Chain A
Amino acid sequence: CAKNTQPTGTPPFEEEFPDLSKHNNHMAKVLSKEVYGKLRDKQTPSGYTLDDVIQTGVDNPGHPFIMTVGCVAGDEESYEVFKDLLDPVISDRHGGYKPTDKHKTDLNHENLKGGDDLDPNYVLSSRVRTGRSIKGFTLPPHNSRGERRIIERLSIEALNSLDGEFKGKYYPLKTMTDAEQEQLIADHFLFDKPVSPLLTCAGMARDWPDGRGIWHNENKTFLVWVNEEDHLRVISMQKGGNMREVFRRFCVGLQKIEEIFKKHDHGFMWNEHLGYILTCPSNLGTGLRGGVHVKLPKLSTHPKFEEILTRLRLQKRGTGGVDTASVGGVFDISNADRLGSSEVEQVQLVVDGVKLMVEMEKKLEKGESIDSMIPAQK
């Protein structure tokens, strides 16, 4: 028998430390040998380890221009047990957010000012999304089939109890008919098995399509994804520029759903430091992305476009969503922040910022300068 087998006891952590010399993501910037050594032997109560947290960042070195997060949480406790890694990552990603900072949650849609008059000649559609995690279960990188199925059952029960404008139906990915699938694709509601290695390397596509599905109301203005990248992704949307209405429906729907989960002692994961707990540290806080598809062919080619967006605390994406290009001068414009400001504050920034940019577009159409309109940093 072999004499030189692995000795019992773990090898020194230097042997285990990943080679991050070619990496460009938040995890790689923060993970030193000291931090690795300190956290390497810890586990959350469900058995999630540091190596699990960072695997996606080790496997995906990143891009010189796009800074990905490079780590995920396997459960609520990950953010506590691995604070020495995740706090600096959070600070980096969320504009200097400190471990002692408190996050404000405000889902009172009446606190939003305006937002019902964005010009529909420019603003083609409005949308608000967020994510929610169900307390007491581990997250998509780590959860078992049994846990995922219970999350699905709980979600179906909660959603099926909604009525009025929220009355709707659940479509499990596993048993969807061809006709239902076609319709959901045509409505731009259907989500696919993740192919991005950022997600697959974190184990989020395991057992696909078991326990996954889509729920939407009859009006097709309120939609919930079950067990994709988070336990729940909640989306409110409609054509045109009435962001106020979209946000109202978002807040009301979310609160109704939360009440039902709370009745079963399985409320949403939330704490006063990190707000809503989600799989990716980039979505902590509100987890909210509120945005519009807006026609800005002139403004988008203006040399100050990027600067304007930065000052307005907004970001642009293509109309296919994250990592896509704009088509025909139409951009997806949404809030850049997630943590450290409330839902109302973030949607307010979108509403005010988009209104301003549409006015700028109109000025540029008339051949006028927009220099006096350039905003101060928000």
Chain B
Amino acid sequence: MSFPNTTKAPRADFPDLRKHNNCMASALTPGIYARLRDKTTPNNWTLDQCIQTGVDNPGHPFIKTVGMVAGDEETYEVFAELFDPVIKDRHNGYDPRTMKHPTDLDITSGFFDERYVLSSRVRTGRSIRGLSLPPACTRSERREVERVVVTALAGLKGDLTGRYYSLGDMSEREQQQLIDEHFLFDKPVSPLLTAAGMARDWPDARGIWHNNEKNFLIWINEEDHTRVISMEKGGNMKRVFERFCRGLKQVERLIQERGWEFMWNERLGYILTCPSNLGTGLRAGVHIRLPLLSKDARFKKILDNLRLQKRGTGGVDTAATGDTFDISNLDRLGKSEVELVQLVIDGVNYLIECEKRLERGQDIKIPSPVPQFRK
């Protein structure tokens, strides 16, 4: 019996996904695998590298993870045959082949009743064009991302003036301070991230920047090149979003002055590591107390129709404590930043109305579903 070198044939390498429940496993066929297996991006990133995290993490019957990541901007083009259906699946039918994603960072309204809303927050991510993404980047590329971003942030002025704390060089006292403020991020332990290679070389070139007022914060080289966060206590989402947009625009201008730019295209919006964060990469949300509404049987349906999701106050995959929830937009791609934040504002106001009505013993209504993409 001989064993010819059939290991090179794509069929020999096709992963066993029979016990898997993630978007990649739903979309990947032997035909697609065979056609894409031998392609590489200009940085030599391969299909196997894209899907490794989804092969290693079969998923959960209730939570459908994405199961693949991009190693660089070109990933989304070279492996479009797999990424496009995954994107469509994850982003509620958004078809990258035919649709365009709108970007809009100029809002006008948004103030919540602070008897219910404890804090407001908007986050997104940005990638630096020309450098590989966290699953694929070399140490020198990661250090370059840090240099480019930290240099730009040093140019911020006024209420955005701040400073950078490198994870590797941080003192014990600084570390404790950042933990107490809920700013510090840790080396990823989730196998979804580690199997995608995002924790390599930790903590080299990782760090946190925040302004002196502590309401504008940037994570460098965690799951994306940058994560940008604007937040404050209370219900002034308008001010949070205004600062978010202003800060983002200034950072963009500062990197452009030195010849860099963010990864973006009109098919997919802002390019980030995980396909789930394409488009705006934006999660706008509040911590809100809804003691009566959260116990109402219609709560979930109301959220669904408002295109909102609830999380625990520890963030993704945590449980709510008491009656306080993290409520944020579900969608990322196919609607602009302004549209999504407006949606959160309108939706949260609706939830507060419901809570007040229930307090007064009045009945509440499930709202009609918010329309999907603009035509």
What is A's interface to B at a CB cutoff of 8 Å? Answer: 2-6, 11, 15-19, 51, 55, 58-59, 137, 144-147, 149-150, 153-154, 157, 174, 200-201, 205-208, 210, 264-266
Asked if B261 is at the interface of the complex by the 8 Å CB criterion, the answer is: yes
Known: A4-B259, A16-B140, A146-B12. 17 other contacts (CB 8 A): A2-B259, A2-B260, A5-B130, A19-B168, A59-B201, A144-B12, A145-B14, A145-B15, A146-B6, A146-B7, A147-B7, A150-B6, A206-B52, A206-B55, A206-B56, A210-B16, A265-B2
Asked if B8 is at the interface of the complex by the 8 Å CB criterion, the answer is: yes
Min distance, Cβ B221 to any Cβ of chain A, angstroms: 14
Q: Would you call A150 and B52 a contact (CB within 8 A)?
A: no
Q: Would you call A18 and B130 a contact (CB within 8 A)?
A: no
Q: Would you call A266 and B3 a contact (CB within 8 A)?
A: yes
Cβ contacts under 8 Å, B2 to chain A: 264-265
By secondary structure, the B interface counts as loop
Asked if B129 is at the interface of the complex by the 8 Å CB criterion, the answer is: yes
Min distance, Cβ B103 to any Cβ of chain A, angstroms: 18
Min distance, Cβ B39 to any Cβ of chain A, angstroms: 15
Within 8 A of A (CB), among B105-130: 129-130
Asked if B199 is at the interface of the complex by the 8 Å CB criterion, the answer is: yes
Min distance, Cβ B205 to any Cβ of chain A, angstroms: 9
Cβ contacts under 8 Å, A157 to chain B: 1
Cβ contacts under 8 Å, A55 to chain B: 200-201
By secondary structure, the A interface counts as loop
Min distance, Cβ B98 to any Cβ of chain A, angstroms: 24
Q: Would you call A145 and B259 a contact (CB within 8 A)?
A: no
* With contact pairs A58-B201, A59-B199 given, residues A146 and B56 touching in the complex (Cβ less than 8 Å): no
Min distance, Cβ B4 to any Cβ of chain A, angstroms: 10
Asked if B300 is at the interface of the complex by the 8 Å CB criterion, the answer is: no
Please, how many angstroms separate the alpha-carbon atoms of A145 and B46 in the complex? 14
Cβ contacts under 8 Å, A147 to chain B: 7
Cβ contacts under 8 Å, B129 to chain A: 2, 5
Asked if B323 is at the interface of the complex by the 8 Å CB criterion, the answer is: no
Q: Would you call B260 and A4 a contact (CB within 8 A)?
A: yes
Please, how many angstroms separate the alpha-carbon atoms of A139 and B201 in the complex? 22
* With contact pairs A18-B204, A59-B202, A264-B1 given, residues A4 and B258 touching in the complex (Cβ less than 8 Å): yes
Q: Would you call B48 and A144 a contact (CB within 8 A)?
A: yes
Cβ contacts under 8 Å, A146 to chain B: 6-9, 12-13
Min distance, Cβ A57 to any Cβ of chain B, angstroms: 11
Cβ contacts under 8 Å, B15 to chain A: 145, 207, 210
Min distance, Cβ A352 to any Cβ of chain B, angstroms: 43
Total chain B interface residues with beta-carbon distance under 8 A: 37
Min distance, Cβ B95 to any Cβ of chain A, angstroms: 26
Q: Could you name 25 residue pairs across A and B whose Cβ atoms are closer than 8 Å?
A: A2-B259, A3-B259, A4-B130, A4-B260, A6-B130, A6-B144, A16-B138, A18-B139, A18-B201, A19-B168, A19-B204, A59-B201, A144-B12, A146-B7, A146-B8, A150-B3, A150-B7, A153-B3, A154-B3, A206-B52, A207-B15, A207-B56, A210-B16, A210-B55, A264-B3
Min distance, Cβ A252 to any Cβ of chain B, angstroms: 24
Please, how many angstroms separate the alpha-carbon atoms of A208 and B138 in the complex? 26
Please, how many angstroms separate the alpha-carbon atoms of A6 and B131 in the complex? 7
Q: Would you call A15 and B260 a contact (CB within 8 A)?
A: no
Cβ contacts under 8 Å, A16 to chain B: 138-140
Q: Would you call A145 and B12 a contact (CB within 8 A)?
A: yes
Cβ contacts under 8 Å, A144 to chain B: 7, 12-13, 48
Name the CB-closest residue of B to A201: B200
Please, how many angstroms separate the alpha-carbon atoms of A208 and B53 in the complex? 11
Asked if B194 is at the interface of the complex by the 8 Å CB criterion, the answer is: yes
Cβ contacts under 8 Å, A264 to chain B: 1-3
Cβ contacts under 8 Å, B201 to chain A: 18, 55, 58-59
Asked if B311 is at the interface of the complex by the 8 Å CB criterion, the answer is: no
What 0/1 pattern do residues 243 to 282 of B give for CB contact below 8 A with A? 0000000000000001111000000000000000000000
What 0/1 pattern do residues 1 to 27 of B give for CB contact below 8 A with A? 111001111001111100000000000
Asked if B239 is at the interface of the complex by the 8 Å CB criterion, the answer is: no
Q: Would you call B140 and A2 a contact (CB within 8 A)?
A: no
Min distance, Cβ A98 to any Cβ of chain B, angstroms: 32
Cβ contacts under 8 Å, A19 to chain B: 168, 204
What 0/1 pattern do residues 136 to 173 of B give for CB contact below 8 A with A? 00111101100000000000000000000000100000
- Would you list the 10 A-B pairs with minimal beta carbon distance, nearest first? A5-B130, A4-B259, A146-B12, A15-B140, A146-B7, A3-B259, A146-B13, A11-B140, A16-B140, A147-B7
Cβ contacts under 8 Å, B13 to chain A: 144-146
* With contact pairs A146-B7, A264-B2 given, residues A15 and B143 touching in the complex (Cβ less than 8 Å): yes
Min distance, Cβ B23 to any Cβ of chain A, angstroms: 18
Min distance, Cβ B171 to any Cβ of chain A, angstroms: 15
CB < 8 Å neighbour of A2 from B3, B144, B202, B261: B261
Name the CB-closest residue of B to A55: B200
Please, how many angstroms separate the alpha-carbon atoms of A137 and B3 in the complex? 12
Please, how many angstroms separate the alpha-carbon atoms of A145 and B17 in the complex? 12
Min distance, Cβ B253 to any Cβ of chain A, angstroms: 15
Min distance, Cβ B239 to any Cβ of chain A, angstroms: 32
Please, how many angstroms separate the alpha-carbon atoms of A4 and B147 in the complex? 13
Cβ contacts under 8 Å, B14 to chain A: 145
Q: Would you call A2 and B130 a contact (CB within 8 A)?
A: yes
